[in-house]
Amino acid sequence: MMTIDLSNKDGIHQAIKGAFKYLKPPPKRLPSEWAEEKCRIPSGNAIPGPVRFANAPYQVEPLNMTVHPDCYRISLMWGAQTGKSQTQLMSIGFFIDQEPSSQMVMQPTQTDMSVWLNAKFEPMITSTPSLEDKVAKARAREGVNNQNMKSYPGGFLMFAWAGSPSTQRGRSAPKIFPDEIDGYTKTAEGYSVDLLWQRAATFGDQRLLFESSTPTIKGNSNIENAFEAGDQRRWFIDCPDCGESQFLKWSQVTWQKADDGEHLPETAMYCCEHCAALWNDGARHKAIRLGRWIAEKPFRGHASYHLPELASTFRKLKDIVISFLEKKASGDLQTFTNVSLAETWALEGEKQDPDSLYARREHYSAEVPSGAYVVTAAVDVQDDRLEIQYEAWGEGEENWKVAFDVLRGDLNKPEIWKRLDAALDRKFKHETGLMLDIAGTTIDTGGHYTQAVYDYVKRRGYGVFAIKGSSSQDAPIVNRPTKSNLGKVNLFSLGVHKIKATIMQRSRILETGYGYVHFPISEEFDREWFDQYTAEELVTKYVKGIRKEVWNKTRPRNEAFDLSGYNYACLRILNPDFKQLKREFEQRQFSKNTPDKPKKPQQPSGSWVNTGGSWL
């Protein structure tokens, strides 16, 4: 392990000013000195008023690395309550006020950008007089101030969002600040941060990339890739008892349970990994204030930082434990891992357990229980049969597996396709008594009967969607359809990796409601179905030295898992408005249950269908 002597503000002061000695004159002030002198934290934050790094000492070094002559890239993989946005903001302020330079800020979406502008950037500007004077006022005669760009003497601050290549085209700046980069999806043109960086090449050694994010899925995380590419710094603190140095780890957090098994978060303590001394919040916070960054690898221009919420002096251990217990109860430990620990969530090696899913089957009160408003179907095309799975969906994508059917026959002959017509014209009885049509069906074109499937989709017309899987790990769950195929039909490309990861994650949710999956007690959903549903696991492989996450079949048949993915894709294609559907169901049920009212004209048929279709 290599130690860099940038241990505290004075340390980095020396190191940074020293680094300038032979290159160019050092800045008049370091960004951290400028921030304490000029910057104010707007009200509404934990500690409003002048910036003081005593409670967030870990912000000093990355902030000052922005002017280190050998540093071109800074990556923050930080958790909640650590101030990673604030650290980026102070750097931006420094390059407005002290060393004017053009800058580009990037957010995942336009909405994220306006939230950032209104909730973070504008309050900092208006509470910091030296910045307010410089950033052009809206409608001022000189300068620009709008949702795309703001000007100040000596530069422009430009805004772009990753989902929109048009906001990036033809614009570049030497200082680049991408925020929440794990929310960026790759566009046809590539990964936005790479594109911005390439475009900034003309600025030479003025170039600086300062990115930040909480991480997401292991193997598919931009910020973790960035952290691993850098020198991997962690905040080391000394044990108040034994004096040994260590960085904070969740595995060292401990708390008691009552005799009845109830957790007691208020007893939470941090346990020293060397001497097992227990630290309370006071001892932990004091040690954090005296901490320092230590890198695991040599510095070669890219400083990367990992910091969990445990290292925040604004959080009590009790509250972090409560958050852990809540997320665990709702089957969403991924959020805790990503947001609090600032670590990626590993899907690898996690196999779903067919026994526990089989054990939670339930009796439905109707074919489609209340709470579900949309029925989808999916067809898997095998050489000697078609397999059809029917599912229902409610608010928050709560999911009910409804029915399963197999049609055997010769796929070259029309007979089996006629039987498929009947299967897709099937109606389902809702708990309210309404009869529901299938709102949409996805059918796989990937087998040996692609042309037959195209013909069928063309004949059926709207409501049957041809699909094919995309092997790219970054592919979105469903892409816009293209017609460039032999059948000239709308063909939807599915992001198989994301769909499978979603299905697996949803199966772990234990509370009904958002994302929960219901399984019926029915002969169609037998033990074999559950074995198929849990037939795949995610494993890590190294292909020519590069880490890859690969889905691995643990048994030959996995149609139930595939069909669940196709149904989920169908829901995303239909994109129904569940709030609207809920209102419609309530109205229909009301008019059905009140015979005293004058009779309204009846619907032409007892069934109806929601088409939602956002792309169709």
Residue 283 or 333 having the CB closest to Zn ion: 283
Return the HEC string of 218-272: CCCCHHHHHHHHCCCEEEEEECCCCCCEEECCHHHEEEEECCCCCEEEEEEEEEC
Virtual CA dihedral for 203, 204, 208, 209, nearest 10 degrees?
90
Residue 279 or 465 having the CB closest to Zn ion: 279
Rounded to a whole number of angstroms, the minimum distance from the CB of residue 279 to Zn ion is 9
Distance CA 182, CA 345 (A): 12
Residue 274 or 488 having the CB closest to Zn ion: 274
Residue 272 or 424 having the CB closest to Zn ion: 272
Site residues (CB under 5 A) for Zn ion? Answer: 239, 241-242, 272, 274-275, 277
Distance CA 276, CA 257 (A): 19
Rounded to a whole number of angstroms, the minimum distance from the CB of residue 274 to Zn ion is 5
As beta bridge partners, residue 536 has 553
As beta bridge partners, residue 390 has 377, 403
Residue 272 or 438 having the CB closest to Zn ion: 272
Residue 117 or 253 having the CB closest to Zn ion: 253
Rounded to a whole number of angstroms, the minimum distance from the CB of residue 316 to Zn ion is 21
Rounded to a whole number of angstroms, the minimum distance from the CB of residue 2 to Zn ion is 23
Q: What angle do CA 140, 144, 146 make, to 5 degrees?
A: 100
Greatest alpha-carbon pair distance for the chain in Å reads: 93
| Inter-CA distances, 418 with 411, 423, 453, 460, 488, Å | 11, 9, 13, 11, 22
Rounded to a whole number of angstroms, the minimum distance from the CB of residue 287 to Zn ion is 10
Distance CA 93, CA 150 (A): 12
Instruction: Tally Cβ neighbours within 10 Å of residue 21.
Output: 10
Rounded to a whole number of angstroms, the minimum distance from the CB of residue 310 to Zn ion is 16
Residue corresponding to tokens 């052009």:
136
Residue 243 or 301 having the CB closest to Zn ion: 243
Return the HEC string of 406-466: EEECCCCCHHHHHHHHHHHCCCEEECCCCEECCCEEEEECCCCCHHHHHHHHHHHCCCEEE
Rounded to a whole number of angstroms, the minimum distance from the CB of residue 244 to Zn ion is 5
Residue 112 or 241 having the CB closest to Zn ion: 241
Rounded to a whole number of angstroms, the minimum distance from the CB of residue 277 to Zn ion is 5
Rounded to a whole number of angstroms, the minimum distance from the CB of residue 271 to Zn ion is 9
Residue 238 or 437 having the CB closest to Zn ion: 238
- DSSP at 302: E
Rounded to a whole number of angstroms, the minimum distance from the CB of residue 276 to Zn ion is 7
Residue 251 or 605 having the CB closest to Zn ion: 251
Are 403 and 427 in contact by the 8 Å Cβ rule? The answer is no
Instruction: Tally Cβ neighbours within 10 Å of residue 540.
Output: 14
| Inter-CA distances, 354 with 508, 530, 535, 600, Å | 12, 5, 9, 49
Rounded to a whole number of angstroms, the minimum distance from the CB of residue 534 to Zn ion is 43
Rounded to a whole number of angstroms, the minimum distance from the CB of residue 292 to Zn ion is 17
Virtual CA dihedral for 341, 343, 349, 350, nearest 10 degrees?
50
Residue 239 or 569 having the CB closest to Zn ion: 239
| Residues written for the chain | 616
Residue 122 or 241 having the CB closest to Zn ion: 241
Residue 159 is encoded by which pair of tokens?
A: 């805004």
Residue 152 is encoded by which pair of tokens?
A: 């100040």
Residue 272 or 535 having the CB closest to Zn ion: 272
Number of H helices, E strands in the chain: 19, 27
Rounded to a whole number of angstroms, the minimum distance from the CB of residue 269 to Zn ion is 13
Are 351 and 386 in contact by the 8 Å Cβ rule? The answer is no
Distance CA 175, CA 200 (A): 8
Residue corresponding to tokens 């929440």:
180
